[in-house]
């Protein structure tokens, strides 16, 4: 079985990490894997470092006919048995490749929790006979897909997973010392791309409520992205310059997470939220909004605390509650550690490879 993974994005975010985990686990099981990725992308660099066979294409947009032609050429040259598409842009390029004669079966992963569009292009590409199965990273996404895809047997959930070995023998990073923060302040942070759907306005409003109520807290925004200027303006507007630190991109995230007292995520949409799984693995209690697939990992008062989307009052109350109740923090930490065992990269690979086998075994012999 020779699998071609399509990675169409320029940067490295959660989706790219999941593809990398899947490729590594597949290769460790003896599977032949190749990649078509965006030219000059982070994923191209990773393929080179890992000696993964790959080719590149521009992936300018979902209607990039040249990338579709490059995909067709790759399939013909490498005798690909199955294609795994990992993004909407890749899905569009694959759809165009079918107009160029590609008949190779494909698996589509969907990681975003917004409804499928109800236009001819969307209906056509999701209805392609070559798309044999759609893998969703949460039940919330699966429910949205099933609003437009009528066959429930064609759509299933495989939750994202993480590499638990990264969290063994952790030495928490001393963030108080590194950023000159008074030792009596509890550290609360999020690790995420600075993107609109992460809703950092709600994060800042939560920080403002906590500071105004006299809680000894300091907040960390860890990551980079297009929303940086907006977030900086919100921090300044709220007068929180001495209470919120924007670190930019950091290495050694497991140690950073272990250095936090609480993990706070305020997303308004979220496929699943693998940064929450990382926080679980680091032993950091989690407070989250109930966006997308988050309630499938943050079970209220069992593995973390949940609040409605955009409810900064609830989030601030939850911060105070955990700072005051060490027994609750410990119960959540234990519950999160137990729940986390379902979300490993090994489990994801095992379940995904089973879908590959099922799809290929169901094909007529002449198309295998």
Phi, psi of 266, deg, nearest 5? -120, 30
Q: Where are the domains of the chain?
A: 2-161+345-367, 165-340
121 has which bridge partners? none
Chain-centroid distance, C-alpha 206: 23
Question: 3-class SS at 151?
Answer: coil
Q: What is the mean pLDDT of the chain?
A: 96
Question: 3-class SS at 118?
Answer: coil
pLDDT value for 180: 96
Q: Express as a percent the part of the chain with pLDDT over 90.
A: 97
pLDDT value for 368: 47
Homologous superfamily of the 165-340 domain (CATH): Glycogen Phosphorylase B; (3.40.50.2000)
**pLDDT tens-digit profile of 207-220?**
999 999 999 999 99
Q: What is the dihedral of CA 135, 140, 141, 145, to 10 degrees?
A: 100
**Which residue's entry shows tokens 């399939």?**
75
pLDDT category of residue 150 using cuts at 50, 70 and 90? confident
**Distance (Å, rounded) from C-alpha 225 to C-alpha 249?**
9
In this structure, which topology does domain 2-161+345-367 adopt according to CATH? Rossmann fold (3.40.50)
**Distance (Å, rounded) from C-alpha 365 to C-alpha 368?**
5
pLDDT value for 78: 93
**pLDDT tens-digit profile of 176-198?**
999 999 999 999 999 999 999 99
Q: What is the pTM of this model?
A: 0.92
């Amino acid at each position: 079985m020779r699998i071609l993974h399509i990675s169409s994005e320029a940067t490295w975010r959660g989706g790219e990490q999941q593809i990398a985990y899947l490729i590594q686990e597949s290769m460790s099981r003896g599977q032949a894997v190749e990649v078509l990725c965006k030219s000059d992308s982070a994923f191209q660099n990773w393929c080179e470092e890992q000696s993964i066979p790959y080719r590149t294409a521009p992936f300018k947009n979902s209607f990039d006919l040249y990338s579709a032609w490059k995909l067709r050429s790759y399939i013909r040259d490498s005798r690909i048995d199955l294609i795994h598409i990992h993004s909407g842009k890749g899905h569009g390029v694959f759809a165009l490749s079918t107009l160029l004669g590609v008949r190779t079966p494909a698996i589509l992963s969907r990681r975003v929790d917004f409804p499928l569009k109800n236009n001819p292009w969307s209906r056509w590409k999701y209805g392609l006979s070559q798309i044999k199965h759609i893998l969703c990273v949460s039940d919330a996404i699966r429910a949205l897909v099933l609003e437009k895809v009528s066959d429930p047997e064609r759509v299933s959930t495989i939750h994202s997973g993480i590499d638990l070995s990264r969290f063994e023998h952790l030495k928490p990073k001393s963030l108080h010392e590194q950023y000159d923060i008074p030792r009596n302040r509890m550290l609360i942070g999020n690790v995420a791309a600075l993107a609109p759907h992460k809703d950092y306005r709600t994060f800042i409003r939560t920080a403002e409520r906590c500071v105004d109520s006299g809680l000894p807290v300091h907040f960390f925004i860890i990551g980079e992205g297009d929303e940086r200027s907006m977030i900086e303006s919100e921090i300044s507007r709220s007068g929180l310059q001495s209470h919120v630190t924007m670190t930019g991109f950091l290495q050694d995230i497991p140690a950073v997470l272990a250095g936090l007292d609480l993990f706070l995520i305020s997303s308004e949409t979220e496929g699943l939220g693998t940064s929450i799984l990382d926080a679980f693995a680091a032993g950091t209690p989690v407070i989250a909004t109930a966006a997308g697939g988050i309630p499938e990992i943050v079970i209220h008062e069992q593995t973390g605390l949940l609040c409605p989307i955009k409810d900064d009052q609830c989030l601030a109350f939850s911060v105070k509650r955990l700072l005051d109740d060490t027994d609750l923090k410990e119960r959540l930490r234990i519950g999160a550690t137990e729940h986390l065992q379902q979300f490993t990269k090994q489990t994801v690979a095992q379940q995904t490879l089973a879908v590959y086998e099922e799809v290929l075994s169901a094909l007529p012999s002449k198309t295998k």
